[in-house]
Structure 1
Amino acid sequence: MASSDKAVGATLLLTSVALFLYYTIWALIMPFVDDGHPLHEYFPDRSYAIRIPVVLLLFGLTVVFTFLALVMIKSNGAKKNVKKA
């Protein structure tokens, strides 16, 4: 079990590092590379370097606030049931 957890953790860490490096090169270094350079074939359009994180952030915040709202609604309903008893 512990070996499996270490393998999953290592995989997640390596994936995170690879994605971080890819995004860093894409967003911070590629704007300074000439447009005709063949390296541009490995990266999407630069506008997506902003759009993708914004969409992910909005989706994440929606999930978090929906969860909080559901917990608050359920908690409020439990308080009403206790007062009635």
Structure 2
Amino acid sequence: MATGMDQMLGMCMSAGGLVIFLYYSIWILLLPFVESSHIIQTFFLPREYAIIIPVIAGVIVLLLLSLFATYILLRKKKKKE
């Protein structure tokens, strides 16, 4: 059973993911149709970062997953010896 703290953490993580999804969706899907002089443009980074940030995040996630898998395999190999 999940405790109250686990549920709160889960809700915070879900809310954070939703906020990031909405921000990115607005940034990519709606902002190209808004004039560049409009005030809403000040709340968003330049569009080049819309590609750079997810690529860097993906590379970091893949690196961490690879390191974790390597750690597990090496640990498993040491147990057999």
Band the TM-score falls in, shorter-chain normalisation:
0.7 to 0.9
Greater Cα offset, 58-67 or 30-39: 30-39
Counterpart for residue 76 of structure 2: 75
Residue of structure 1 in register with 2:35 after alignment: 34
Aligned to 2:9: 8
Q: How many residues align?
A: 80
Matching residue of 2:20: 19
1:20 Cα offset (Å): 0.7
1: CA distance, partners of 2:15 / 2:78: 44
Q: Which amino acid aligns with 1:2?
A: T
Q: TM-score, normalised by structure 1?
A: 0.81
Query: Displacement of 1:62 after TM fit?
Result: 0.3
Counterpart of 2:50?
A: 49
The SS at the match of 1:22 is: helix
Q: Which runs of 5+ in 2 are unaligned?
A: none
CA RMSD of aligned residues (A): 1.6
The CA deviation at 1:51 is 0.5
**One-letter code aligned to 1:48:** Y
Aligned-pair identity (%):
30
TM-score for the superposition, normalised by structure 2: 0.84
Larger Rg: 1
Cα 1:48–1:5 shift into 2, 3 Å: same
Distance in 1 between the 2:65 and 2:39 partners? 41
